[in-house]
Structure 1
Amino acid sequence: MAIAVFRVMIVEDEQPILDLMKRLVEQHPLLELAGSFTSAAEALYAFEALKLDAAFLDIEMPRVGGIELAEKLRAVDDNLQIVFTTAYPEYAIEAFRVSAVDYLVKPVAADEIERVVARLAKNHSRRKERSTVQAEELFVRCMGTFETRGLDGSLIKWPTRKTEELFAYFLVYPNRLAGKWQLADLLWPDLEEERALHNVHNSVYRLKKALKEASIAIDLTHTNEGYYMRLTPGFSDLTSFRDFLRRTAIIDHRNAHEGETHFRMYQGPLFGGKDYVWSAGVTAELAGQYASLTRMLVSFHRRSGDDAAAKKTLCAYLTHVPLDAEMNGELLQLYLAHGEQDRFRHHYARYLEQLEQELGVGPAEEIKRLAEQIE
């Protein structure tokens, strides 16, 4: 198991104490000093670019004190772990008002840094566990299959196919109004309007009943215009996956574990390829998000010097999207860079065969050039 190394910054307005803190942090094998500042304004300006795990903040600073700075930093990154430094222990109670991990009394000693690092590691471990538990407790799986389980773990048996499809629509478009006439037209396009609308009402009733019998509490409200289903990100793999991609622009050591968890959630096309006419665009969008997550993870592994993990990620992706030219090219380049010629030849031959069988075409020129390097 990899040991977490925490990127930290120090904010301290007294230079001698700042120098001492820098030495203590730099000497600890589980701390990486990302930045040090003598004012809150400088620290706040640089904060987002530093990608921090924790911050050591002096409580007593002019203009903006450590507690106010902590509140501003936590407003940007709620996961940031805060450690205060102070010459006055009576500030400790106020410090914990902003959920500080710990506080250090000046002058700070090495054994106190050790205590703080232990707490940082414990909190980090708890967050990873919560992320894993959330993934395991999903009620609904939509990627590569479509199954809904009750609290007892048993599969829900839907009374009609249209009830299941209506639920699928709400899962794709949660937390927004679904117009009743829109649903009628989507699900029963061939029926007379009033009859189609009657079917919508009946299907909503059946949906609520099925979920209630499975002990799944859900907020599905009826308005004059239509229906509104409120869902949390953790309700399904789809909502969780989309939420993670919405708030993630880059994978780094802070969110890599969560990224890997969501990467593994993707097990194939939306709803297992069920032929819902209205879902084709969303299926393509989800596939694009999966490719984007793959790129971010591969980039993170390569920046970290872990090409083995990058190759593993690419191989997993290609089991779902075997003809992706970009990802095949990336994997072949890695095989070439590490002198794995047998693996290169085996993968290249299989890729050529799949291209011919599925599309009747050959590989892109850049991939041909890679192959020429080992022939």
Structure 2
Amino acid sequence: MLRVVLIDDERLALIQLESTLRALGSTIVTATYTNPLLAMSEAAGWEADIIFLDIDMPGLNGMEAAKQLEECCPGSAVVFVSAHNTFALEAFEVSAQDYLLKPVSRDRLSRTLQRIRSRKVNQEQTDKPDSLLIRCFNAIQFERGGVPIRDFRWRTSKAQELFAFLLYHQDRIVVKDKLIELLWPEVSFKRASTHLYTAIYQIRQSLKRADIGLVISNASVGEGYMLESGDTQIDAVLWEEGVVSLDPVDDHNVAEHEELLKLYTGDFLGDYEYLWAESERQRLRNLSLQHATELADYYIVKDNITKAVSTYQRIIELHPYYEPGYLALMEFYNRLGELSFVQEQYEKLRSLLWRDLKLAPSAKVERWYANWKRLYT
């Protein structure tokens, strides 16, 4: 639960915000103030995760209050709440975590809480020298305190897939019958049960040897298993929470969107041919493509061609069959006068589609390229 303090000289606004927070059920409102001067005098004892602060208050301006809070409450996230958006730029200059307009909607407030909660968890993990992170983009890898655990070994490929499946269903019971059907469908039930027991034992031993404190418990009176994640972080989960909680790209959060683009390094369990993971793989891939193209569109609107080009280069690196990405790069390179790069992108797309899919580029790409060739050859 997040500990929250509310400061607003309008009592009705305080009541409404507190009511909305209580309805969301993920916070504890530890103090409310209508007098900002009194609030500042007591701030050092709050230990708050979030401070919701009105800007236009008598006696002490919210901006000045925020500067004081940076000193006396360095671990607290400040969120400004105002009836006007005229102070937004100034608010972010004093390290505000968010800027909400009154009346604050429940959905908007929920996104703010989720974002701050994710940052808090990430920071806590960073601060712990023994914190465990499991990477699932491309291959399964373990990190402790930001350092890869390189001596980890799986005994068998079945043990690795079993762990991956339990990880995908983290903190949920997976019945034995489902695991047997997935991993040993052509083996007798008795023999498959032995294989399952052996694989679970191998996983537990591998985790123990690497000093990885994950627990795989027998659940449902021995009829299933559950991977207890505890405070372990998973990169795919952290990435998706970040994408979902962030507002659309703007001048204030573009850096966070760029960091999320870097975090998505490849498909979910992409190095393994697990058919059961394909739907999740495709779902995250689509979310990644949507997020990256929104970031590229932002740079196009800002006429930042260099950033737009680098973003689209990243897009086709992660999504090599995404034709609109190649077409966008061809158009950008043409605007920059880099004609050889236009040719290179077209040839790259054409060769890839034919080699892997026995397809030609779409009619839209072919028309654009044909028109371009008539102008420049």
TM-score greater than 0.5 by the shorter chain: yes
2:341 & 2:204 partners in 1: Cα distance?
A: 52
Q: Report the secondary structure of 1:100's partner residue.
A: strand
Cα separation, 2, equivalents of 1:133 and 1:258: 18
Alignment-derived partner of residue 285 in structure 1: 283
Equivalent position of 2:359 in the other structure: 361
- Does structure 2 retain, via aligned residues, the 8 Å contact 1:233–1:243? no
Residue in 1 that maps onto 2:87: none
Equivalent positions of 1:49-198 (< 5 A) are 58-61=8-11, 64-66=12-14, 69=17, 72=20, 89-92=37-40, 99-100=50-51, 106-108=58-60, 112=64, 115=67, 121-122=94-95, 139-149=133-143, 153-198=149-194
Q: Per the alignment, do residues 128 and 235 of structure 1 end up closer, same or farther by CA in structure 2, a change over 3 Å counting?
A: closer
Q: Secondary structure at the match of 1:310?
A: helix
Which range moves more in the overlay, 160-169 or 349-358? 349-358
In structure 1, the residue matched to 2:112 is none
Q: Structure 1's 134 and 259: CA in aligned 2 closer, same or farther, altered over 3 A?
A: farther
- Alpha carbon RMSD of aligned pairs, Å? 4.2
Query: Which position in structure 2 is the counterpart of 1:271?
Result: 269
CA distance in 2, matches of 1:167, 1:282: 16
Structure 1 residue 135: deviation in Å? 8.4
Name the SS of the counterpart of 2:262 in structure 1. helix
Closer, same or farther: CA 275–102 of 1 in aligned 2, 3 Å:
closer
Letter of the 2:150 counterpart: S
Q: Indicate how the Cα distance of structure 1 residues 263 and 146 shifts in structure 2: closer, same or farther if over 3 A, else same.
A: same
Q: 5 Å matches for 1:318-329? A: 318-329=316-327
Report the CA distance between 1:287 and its aligned residue. 2.5
Contact kept in structure 1, 2:40 and 2:65, CA below 8 Å? no
1:315 CA displacement: 0.2
Cα separation, 2, equivalents of 1:273 and 1:217: 25
TM-score normalised by the chain length of structure 1: 0.67
Aligned mates of 2:303, 2:203 — CA distance in 1 = 49
Q: Residues 110 and 275 from structure 1, CA distance in 2 versus in 1: closer, same or farther, beyond 3 angstroms?
A: closer
Identity of aligned pairs, percent? Answer: 20
Q: Does 1:296 align with 2:294?
A: yes
Q: CA deviation at 1:285?
A: 3.0
Q: How many residues align?
A: 315
Q: Residue 214 of structure 2 aligns with which residue? A: 218
Cα distance between partner residues in 1 of 2:298 and 2:22: 25
Q: Secondary structure at the match of 2:193?
A: helix
User: How many Å separate the matches in 2 of 1:129 and 1:233?
Assistant: 13
TM-score normalised by the chain length of structure 2: 0.67
Q: Per the alignment, do residues 90 and 117 of structure 1 end up closer, same or farther by CA in structure 2, a change over 3 Å counting?
A: closer
Going from structure 1 to structure 2, the CA distance change for 1:156 and 1:71 (only over 3 Å counts) comes to: farther
CA contact (8 A) 2:53 2:62 kept: no
Q: Which amino acid aligns with 1:155?
A: D
Distance 2:121 2:308 in 1: 25
Q: CA deviation at 1:165?
A: 1.1
1: distance between equivalents of 2:193 and 2:122? 41
Distance 1:308 1:191 in 2: 56
Shift of 1:228: 2.0
Q: Matched residues in 1 for 2:126 and 2:310: separation?
A: 21
Alpha-carbon displacement from aligned partner over 1:259-298 (angstroms, at most 9, x marks no partner): 3333223333433432234333333333223222222322
Structure-2 change in CA distance of 1:123 and 1:229 (3 Å): farther
Q: Secondary structure of the equivalent of 2:51?
A: coil
Give the secondary structure class of the aligned counterpart of 1:323: coil
